Amino acid sequence: MATITTQMGSFYGEKLAASELRKYRKRGPIPSTRTLIEALKAEGVEGATLLDVGGGIGAIQHELLEAGVAHATSVDASAPYLAAAREEGERRGHGGRVTYRHGDFVELAESVPPADIVTLDRVINVYPEWQRLAGFSAERAERLFGLVYPRDRFMVRIVIIAMNLALRLLRKPVRASVHPDDEIDRVVREKGLSRHITRSVGPAWQVVVYRRP
């Protein structure tokens, strides 16, 4: 699905990546990302490996590497975001502990090794074939699988409808969506994981950590 890489790369471009990196350096991770990071740290990350799918500027990578993760693999369809993650990793002195892969994870999945921890932060809500993305990602989680996605609530759906209309009018290629918890659970449980931690962050976001028995 080469068009996904092209579409994501055109929407999540250099200007947006630079803006998010500036905000991250000033304020740290946004609340939903911070909640996921803290939940994973509480489970123990010392010496673990991390696979960050659609990690953007790399907030999860940076924070968990500093918390003791030994090595991270960052896969992203946006070259500018991957470059921003690399820049920040090098600035923090742990760039040598990260492998960067550019492209659509669904297409790359077979060549990406498993990791102790796999994360998808606000990714399944903007990926057209989200079941495949979640399934391939969950398969590679040897211990923990962390997700951040929109809560399935009426007002959240209304906001996303309005946002998609604006994106359509602006001729942007990305669309957002909301998926019911039970559908996400089904996809992940089929890969042998069970829901371990659930946190709501504000009215819009859900943070979930699955664990492999």
Does residue 130 have a pLDDT over 60? yes
How would residue 5 be classed by pLDDT, with cut points 50, 70 and 90? Answer: low
* pLDDT tens profile 19-41: 999 999 999 999 999 999 999 99
* pLDDT tens profile 102-129: 999 999 999 999 999 999 999 999 999 9
Computed over its alpha carbons, how large is the radius of gyration of the chain?
16
The closest of 157, 158, 146 to 122, measured between CA atoms, is 146
Is-contact 183 193, C-beta < 8 A? Answer: no
* pLDDT tens profile 41-89: 999 999 999 999 999 999 999 999 999 999 999 999 999 999 999 999 9
Q: How many domains does the chain have?
A: 1
Residue-range definition of the domain harbouring residue 111: 2-211
* pLDDT tens profile 145-196: 999 999 999 999 999 999 989 988 988 878 899 999 999 999 999 999 999 9
Residue with tokens 């500027």: 57
Does residue 4 have a pLDDT over 90? no
Structure tokens, 109: 């999945």
Residue with tokens 């490996």: 49
In this structure, what CATH number is given to the domain that contains residue 148? Answer: 3.40.50.150
pTM for the full predicted model: 0.93
Q: Kind and range of the H or E element at 147? A: strand 141-150
